């Protein structure tokens, strides 16, 4: 970061993200969510995952809204819903993916 502005922080995304079947978005800005989800889903597809979980937190649901916007238009997504209570309930989203 050069001057500590929010725009600099948005550009300072991790260069490498280890892909598992869970993505935790705590600590990310809403502006970072579309790219994070796209990259996560691309790698999840490469790993042949058919279900993944995205943790966005409960809060004011801004991150959840951003996540759902990306999922709704992504061609690899079959469906998505709130996680069951033991996996985060409405603070996480379960995503069903197409096999590629």
**pLDDT score for 2:** 44
Average pLDDT along the chain: 85
**pLDDT score for 1:** 41
In a domain, 78, yes or no: yes
Average pLDDT over residues 60-88: 93
In a domain, 1, yes or no: no
Give the residue numbers spanning the domain of 37: 6-97
In this predicted structure, the answer to whether residue 34 has a pLDDT above a threshold of 90 is yes
Average pLDDT over residues 76-81: 97
CATH number for the domain spanning 22: value is: 3.30.1370.110
How many domains does the chain fold into? 1
In this predicted structure, the answer to whether residue 50 has a pLDDT above a threshold of 60 is yes
Query: What is the Cα–Cα distance from 17 to 4, expressed in whole angstroms?
Result: 23
**pLDDT score for 40:** 93
Nearest in space to 53 (alpha carbons), one of 72, 27, 25: 25
């Amino acid at each position: 970061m050069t001057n500590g502005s929010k725009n600099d922080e948005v550009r300072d995304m991790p260069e490498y993200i280890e892909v598992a079947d869970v993505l935790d978005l705590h600590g990310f800005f809403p502006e970072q969510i579309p790219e994070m989800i796209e990259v996560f889903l691309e790698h999840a597809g490469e790993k042949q995952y058919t279900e993944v979980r995205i943790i966005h937190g409960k809060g004011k649901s801004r991150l959840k809204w951003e996540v759902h916007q990306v999922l709704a238009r992504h061609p690899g997504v079959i469906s998505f819903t709130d996680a069951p209570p033991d996996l985060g309930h409405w603070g996480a989203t379960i995503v069903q993916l197409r096999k590629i």
